[in-house]
A and B are shown apart, each in its own frame.
Chain A
């Protein structure tokens, strides 16, 4: 059996006395799309953010590409700052609040990191950036500033900005939650096409239909542990635990989510 693409072992994270991740382990295969669901405060974001060490776990192990970290403070495999920067450059992350850089045009947002971090020439970065923007249908907007774009367009640019670094793994944290309902679809469609292209993705989402249609696996987080996981057909249709049943019931009745197919 081949080693998993991404391997997380017993990840623990506390904020003060509040233990938010109580030893979470996960293997992800290359090309796999994993959705994470769970109630607010269950630790979904913290888990996603600990994958690229935006939140530094207090203990646990992680393996990804050439990186192999031991997060115990005393370990000699504890990541250095430089290693973390390199790791983050390999992992794309997209946030709920798009966080585009408002003082740069759309194109500048996309080429900034490849130029500074990969040493790409402006000509190369621009050519690749423009190709990316064409792909997401925003080539015409390349010289606009983010403030002039709709939320959906901004979020697509944020995805393009991450893709410009040619990441091997993409993390999405509720990337459609801040969008007006009519703009959700364009972002989900883009994510579905990425998935179809074989991108390895982890996404925190409340879009149950999207999780069902696009992901290979669904994880249910409950109070800092991964309480249930499996293929979407099983986890979402025949949940084992009462808490997941309860959660699904609530979310499916309160917030009907849009349908998207890969």
Chain B
């Protein structure tokens, strides 16, 4: 038992820092993914064929290729074109763009669940299309998609472990470095799993709370 306390005292702070980095990566990635997802979802229903085409290609490409390959393209591939990014930045962009394609699909399904009468009544009272989207349609979409968007956020959080492959010292890579020094893979991978679990559980709780908060509004 005392060994556990020693371990926590010894490795705890390092794990905390790594967990903090995971959280940070997740938050930034979610922001990027919502921007990409919203843009793609709106582009998909645009009157312009080019925009629809670009959005369609984006979603098709991202959903049809492994996230790890996308990360490699951004981190190892782009420098060949003269674009050099830090592992952290490359990771946020790659994961954000990746998750954005899934978010786009989620938003699209949410948009299609809104009765067209909602847009009608807003336009008829004098709102512009943008005002209608922003104040009438999207707030309703957000409530509908909250559960799926939470799942996507949890996936994103777990996917940050992929960034160990491009030297971002998040939880997984941090554990690996400890393991190579201590030869205790079981202990440390379990510790990592527990921390991921704690993080995803917090996220789930947060989403449940949001959902309850908005449940009464519909």
Contact partner of B117 (CB less than 8 A), chosen from A52, A97, A112, is A97
Residues of chain A lying within 8 A (CB to CB) of residue B121: 93, 95, 99-101, 158
How long is the Cα–Cα vector from A99 to B124 in the complex, in angstroms? 11
Cβ–Cβ contact B127 & A85, under 8 A: yes
Cβ–Cβ contact B140 & A117, under 8 A: no
A165 in contact with B126 given A95-B117, A97-B117, A102-B218 (CB within 8 Å): yes
A89 in contact with B218 given A99-B117, A101-B121 (CB within 8 Å): no
How long is the Cα–Cα vector from A97 to B118 in the complex, in angstroms? 10
Residues of chain A lying within 8 A (CB to CB) of residue B78: none
The A153-171 residues at the B interface (CB cut-off 8 A) are: 158, 161-162, 165
How long is the Cα–Cα vector from A201 to B174 in the complex, in angstroms? 72
How long is the Cα–Cα vector from A89 to B122 in the complex, in angstroms? 10
Cβ–Cβ contact B218 & A88, under 8 A: no
The reply to whether the CB of B69 lies closer than 8 angstroms to some CB of chain A is no
Interface string of A81-109 (1 = CB under 8 A from B): 10001101100110101011111000000
How long is the Cα–Cα vector from A247 to B169 in the complex, in angstroms? 78
Contact partner of B127 (CB less than 8 A), chosen from A92, A97, A99, A117, is A117
Cβ–Cβ contact B218 & A145, under 8 A: yes
- Nearest Cβ on chain B to A202's Cβ, whole angstroms: 14
Cβ–Cβ contact B120 & A145, under 8 A: no
How long is the Cα–Cα vector from A101 to B124 in the complex, in angstroms? 13
A81 in contact with B128 given A102-B218, A147-B218 (CB within 8 Å): yes
Residues of chain A lying within 8 A (CB to CB) of residue B126: 85-86, 88-89, 113, 117, 165
The A46-96 residues at the B interface (CB cut-off 8 A) are: 52, 54, 81, 85-86, 88-89, 92-93, 95
Residues of chain B lying within 8 A (CB to CB) of residue A3: none
A103 in contact with B143 given A86-B126, A112-B135, A113-B126 (CB within 8 Å): yes
Contact partner of A99 (CB less than 8 A), chosen from B115, B217, B218, is B115
Cβ–Cβ contact A88 & B123, under 8 A: yes
- Nearest Cβ on chain B to A198's Cβ, whole angstroms: 22
Interface string of A199-210 (1 = CB under 8 A from B): 000000000000
A93 in contact with B124 given A99-B117, A103-B217 (CB within 8 Å): yes
Residues of chain A lying within 8 A (CB to CB) of residue B140: 101-103
Residues of chain B lying within 8 A (CB to CB) of residue A165: 125-126
Residues of chain B lying within 8 A (CB to CB) of residue A88: 123-126
Cβ–Cβ contact A52 & B124, under 8 A: yes
A105 and chain B: residue at smallest CB distance: B217
The B125-145 residues at the A interface (CB cut-off 8 A) are: 125-128, 131, 135-136, 139-140, 143
* B residues whose Cβ falls under 8 Å from a Cβ of A: 115, 117-118, 120-128, 131, 135-136, 139-140, 143, 216-218
* A residues whose Cβ falls under 8 Å from a Cβ of B: 52, 54, 81, 85-86, 88-89, 92-93, 95, 97, 99-103, 112-113, 116-117, 145, 147, 158, 161-162, 165
Between A and B, 18 residue pairs with Cβ closer than 8 Å are A52-B124, A85-B128, A88-B125, A89-B126, A92-B125, A93-B125, A97-B117, A99-B115, A99-B118, A99-B120, A101-B118, A101-B121, A101-B140, A102-B217, A116-B127, A116-B131, A145-B217, A162-B125
List of 6 A-B pairs having minimum Cβ-Cβ separation, nearest first: A89-B126, A99-B121, A99-B117, A93-B124, A88-B126, A113-B125
